[in-house]
Amino acid sequence: SDAGTLKRIDYSLIKGGITVADQWRVTANITANADPISSNLERIDTTGQGTIGTAMSESSGIFTFPSTGIYLVSYNAFCSSVAGGDNVGMELKVTTDNSSYATISYNYDGNDSFNTNSISGNSLIDVTDTSNVKVSFSAVSITAGSYFYGDTTGTTSNETYFTFIRLGDT
């Protein structure tokens, strides 16, 4: 009798795993508000760093996903705030119609004299259509003397950076 015998193995169940993992970083300090952050961006490329699958694409600060699915999108921002109660903020925005963006994650830090801080945030993004569902990041509440760090010494390390991981199907 064949009762209880596995007749067929679904290869997609075995293969599984993450099919997209990508990371981008800022390569120069951000010294003024930017909505979206659209310059001095590069995909990670330092020896020892790695990615999986097809890269995210970026144009004028708008990130396009390579395939549909549920993605974990996160940001980490290393920042410095000046004296006088200034704070700095980072926002993650999403559009589902390739037009109107909504802030879905934001964090601020600072408010004391000459602080250096790290702020981070994330959200799960349901990418049902790669032409319409896109994300961007904004630097906000930056006054003179405050900034987000970008790697200005050779673009080899992540100081302010964005991570994209496809977790599974939508």
Answer for the pair 160, 148: CB distance below 8 angstroms, yes or no: yes
Q: Which of 143, 148, 147 is nearest to 158 (CA)?
A: 148
Distance of alpha carbon 50 from alpha carbon 23, whole angstroms: 9
Of the pLDDT bands very low, low, confident and very high (cuts 50, 70, 90), residue 5 is: low
pLDDT digits (tens, 9 = 90+) for 89-115: 999 999 999 999 999 999 988 666 667
Q: Give the pTM.
A: 0.88
pLDDT, greater one: 159 or 81: 159
Average pLDDT estimate for 22-29: 96
pLDDT at position 53: 96
Encode burial over 76-105: b for 16+ CB neighbours within 10 A, e otherwise.
Answer: bbbbbbbeeebbbbbbbbbebeeeebeebb
Residue 16 has pLDDT above 80, yes or no: no
Backbone φ, ψ for residue 154 (5° rounding): 130, 10
Q: Whats the size of the chain, residue-wise? A: 170
pLDDT digits (tens, 9 = 90+) for 105-156: 999 886 666 677 889 999 999 999 999 999 999 999 888 888 899 986 777 8
pLDDT at position 130: 98
Average pLDDT of the chain is: 89
pLDDT digits (tens, 9 = 90+) for 56-71: 999 999 999 999 999 9
